[in-house]
Structure 1
Amino acid sequence: MKIFISIASYQDPLLLETLCSAYTNARFKDSLVFGVCEQADQGIDLDSIVFKDQIKYELLDPVMAKGPCWARGRIQQYYSDEEFFLQIDSHTIFKANWDHILIENYTWLENTQKDSFVISGYPREFKPNSDLTSFELDTSSKVTWGIALQEDKIFDDGHYSGQRAFPTDLTNPLKGYLIAAGFLFTRGVLVNEIPYDPKFYFHGEELSLALRLFTNQWDVIYIPEAPLFHFYTDVNNLPRKLHWDEEDEKNRIEKWTELDKKSKSRLTDLILNKLDEPFGLGNHRTIEDFGALIGVDMIQKKINNLDLATKSLSFKEITSGTLPYKEILLK
């Protein structure tokens, strides 16, 4: 039962830590297959990694880079029918037995759901020390976190809408509608059915994928205590370049501002159903249905229910009449 792990990295000093954390903390280490697109001046030393034969790796000059979606799309070319697919960012630390935990969650949820689904959400954070020898993991929150639209970013600069995470008062999985690109776990068939669109840049990545999932009759589910942690902010002792870094940007033919403009325009084309397969909307559910569920009119760019849009009151708690959710991790 193999897991393909997609990791896009841009000038990230934590990439090697992410790879080693995933491998070291997995219960079934031999079942992991890593797909890595590293965009850096100097790549990781692949030969120094004991599990290098499990890594499908591409190193690119950062001047060539066109954003995370472009990199994630390249990584999916390495996918080879592994049963499960996990997409993360290159600054992620894993809990012990994370693979077992995710598969147990997925299997339990599969028995409650009629449609295909992804497990997603913004993971809890971690903070590294300056020499990357230890990590402070935020394990304080035990509840399920959901994703809603960010009030001051709804239809910001066109159809693009920002997102935010917030805690609920529940410890069962919840069904929602928005995804986090830095944590996405599901069956590997997703790669073939809804492949990543490399023409998106950064803004629009998560909303576009959420719309494609929804209209193709895929659901989004959030779980409590997801077994991985994300580094959300740079600190003074761990700086890293971002894609729009001036030193890299000056050598690019196509600047990040133009990529961003094209990405937001492509999001509008998606919402207006102007994109062809395999990157367009599905025909199983409508974008109007999606908008009604989250309180906005995606086409007309109108907020119909601000509380619904920004607090996701439409979340649906998932339970089972057979095995209670809290029992699955005791197996």
Structure 2
Amino acid sequence: MPPQPDIFVSIASYRDPELIPTLKDMTDNASSPQHLHIAVCWQDEGDFSVFSDAGLTVSRQSETQDTRFFCYNGASVTVIYRHYLTSEGACWARHLSETCYQDEPYFLQIDSHCRFIEGWDQQMISLLESLKKISALPVLSAYPPGYQPGDDEQKSKQTSVSRMIFREFTREGIPMVGSHVLTAPRPVRGSYLAGGFIFAPGRFVRDVPNDPQIFFAGEEIGMSVRAFTQGYDVYHPHIPLLWHYYKRAECSKIWQDHNDDARKQGAVSRAWWERDRVSKQRLATLLGLNNDAQEIAPPYGHGDQRTLRQFEYQTGLHLRLRAVQPAVSGDEKQAFFAVPPASDAEWLEAFTLWHHRTITLSPAEITGPGAGYEFIRLSVYDRDNRLLFTCRQPPASLTSPDEQSAVSLSIRFSTLPCCYPHRIRTCGWQSGVGWGELTETPW
């Protein structure tokens, strides 16, 4: 009787020449490849000979032509085939892979372009089990260090690791994440999941299954929120466990194949951007950005262990305001706040950033020509020329010991932490004449 697999591995592969090398490296470097159940959603042209040519052997017959069962280096490999023109995105493919889950105790989600350390399976299990001393539901996740396929592949493998941080809000208000170098003696607590590497208890597949309606962008913040509200705690590994191929400039992408021309010709049912638009609307609902939207039904909505507001407390993000706490955007790039605020009011107060500056105005800037200015308008703009603050000052309020002396004017105002002053503009107004000369100075 074959051994019961310990790790269920989910792989989404889109026309990727690195799939077979990934399977080979994974099984070659596993301590117990016979304990792996690998499920691949293979979005390609359907030539299954690529698997037999690589040494995969049929383990049992399938009832359908679109699903094949193989054995490879002792591992069980299930391949679910879909023609690449019928693909509906990365999370749709991950969702199909997850249908093969058979209650294995551990779950690994990766992309189809990875390399692995020797004994990666035992190392991941050991790290995850050690974290159960401090967390009921730990998850290992991060952007793995990179590698470059080819003759110098071994030399190309990076040795540094990273933790995940907030990067920016999209124009739709969806938070996007990035990475920051991590140096630590043990895994560190974080808030965000990386789609290309998740190692978790097997039940994660049922608790936080991939939503097939999420196309690609925003996948990670959506999974992060859902995992958090289900009670999972993210930890970023302090050592390399695998490597990821990032550039992939030569590889086919779904947004290249599923374009407007392909849709007009009937090759695809929707252009990629149409799926992406619907996906982002769904993410906006999940993140509480749509006031009138209905909640997303289980299992793709929020869990019942924690709330969305608690996620905001932990990450330092205010999703509706598209704002972040100062420590999130500061040099420390903080992504995990261990201690929740004493109150919601206290937390909201921290999103106010005060700016103070004293400027000097010359007598000519204050009085103006002829009858003089009726008021001076002072405005502060950010780097993108967005107005942050403006006020009017009558010349009489700008006094100096004598008419020949410059006047100091103190400016104080507040903004959201993501808004930073860049330029100060002053200009006087005179009835019948209009605006005077504009003076612009750096903040």
User: Normalised by the size of structure 1, how large is the TM-score?
Assistant: 0.86
Q: Which amino acid aligns with 1:104?
A: S
Structure 2 Cα separation of the partners of residues 36 and 247 of structure 1: 21
- In 1, distance between residues paired with 2:324 and 2:17? 43
Query: Aligned AA for 2:109?
Result: Q
User: How far does residue 145 in structure 1 lie from its aligned partner after superposition?
Assistant: 1.8
**Inter-CA distance 158–306: structure 2 relative to 1 (3 Å threshold):** farther
Is the 8 Å Cα contact of residues 62 and 248 (structure 1) preserved in structure 2? no
SS at match of 1:87: strand
Aligned to 1:269, which of 261, 280, 285? 285
Indicate the residue corresponding to 1:9 in structure 2: 13
Name whichever of 19-28 and 264-273 sits farther off.
Answer: 264-273
Matches within 5 A, 1:141-152: 141=160, 145-150=162-167
Q: Report sequence identity in percent.
A: 28
Would you tell me which structure has more helix in proportion to its own residues?
A: 1
Going from structure 1 to structure 2, the CA distance change for 1:306 and 1:158 (only over 3 Å counts) comes to farther
User: What corresponds to 1:119 in structure 2?
Assistant: 140
Q: Once the 2 structures are TM-superposed, how far is the Cα of residue 243 of structure 1 from its aligned partner?
A: 0.5
Residues 251-262 of structure 1 aligned to structure 2 (within 5 Å) = 251-262=267-278
Aligned equivalents of 1:313, 1:200: Cα separation in 2: 24
1:5-154 equivalences under 5 Å are 5-43=9-47, 45-48=50-53, 49-50=55-56, 52-53=70-71, 54-113=76-135, 115-129=136-150, 134-141=153-160, 145-150=162-167, 153-154=168-169
CA contact (8 A) 1:159 1:267 kept: no
Structure 2 counterpart of 1:138, which letter?
K
1:308 aligns with 2:328: yes
Distance in 2 (alpha carbons) for counterparts of 1:314 and 1:37: 33
Distance 1:264 1:136 in 2: 39
Deviations for 1:213-263, whole angstroms, at most 9, x for unmatched residues? 11111111111123100000025xxx1100111477612111100111011
Q: Distance in 2 between matches of 1:63 and 1:171?
A: 45
Please give the alpha-carbon distance, in whole angstroms, between the structure 1 residues aligned to 2:322 and 2:251.
38
Q: Deviations over 1:65-109 (max 9, x none)?
A: 011000000111011111111000000011111111101111111
Whether 1:288 and 2:309 are equivalent positions in the alignment is yes
Q: Which residue of 2 aligns with 1:322?
A: none
SS of the aligned residue for 2:25 comes to helix
- CA distance in 1 between counterparts of 2:46 and 2:256 reads 16
- Paired residue type of 1:267: L
- 2:61 corresponds in structure 1 to none
State the shift of 1:315 in Å.
6.2
Q: Are 2:180 and 1:180 equivalent residues in the alignment?
A: no
Taking the aligned partners of 1:148 and 1:22, their CA distance within structure 2 comes to 28
| CA-to-aligned-CA distance 1:4-53 (integer Å, 9 cap, x gap) | 11110001010000001100110101001110011112445223434633
C-alpha contact (below 8 Å) 2:29/2:116 kept by paired residues: yes
Which of the numbers 153, 159, 173 marks the counterpart of 1:159?
173
Partners of 2:146 and 2:245 within 8 A in 1: yes
| CA pair 134-167 structure 1, distance change in 2 beyond 3 A | closer
Q: Between Structure 1 and Structure 2, how many residues are aligned?
A: 304
Residue 295 of structure 1 contacts residue 309 of structure 1 at CA under 8 Å; is this kept in 2?
A: no
Q: What is the deviation of 1:163?
A: 1.0
Structure 2: 5+ residue stretches without partners? 58-69, 289-293, 339-443
**Residue identity in the other structure for 1:253:** S
Length-normalised TM-score, structure 2: 0.65
For the 8 Å contact 1:122–1:180, the answer to whether it is kept is yes
Look up the equivalent residue of 1:258 and give its one-letter code.
E
Do the aligned partners of residues 303 and 62 (structure 1) sit closer, same or farther apart at CA in structure 2, a change above 3 Å counting? same
- Provide, for residues 193-214 of structure 1, a one-character-per-residue CA deviation record: whole Å limited to 9, x for no partner: 2211111000111100000011
| Larger strand percent | 2
The match for 2:374 is: none
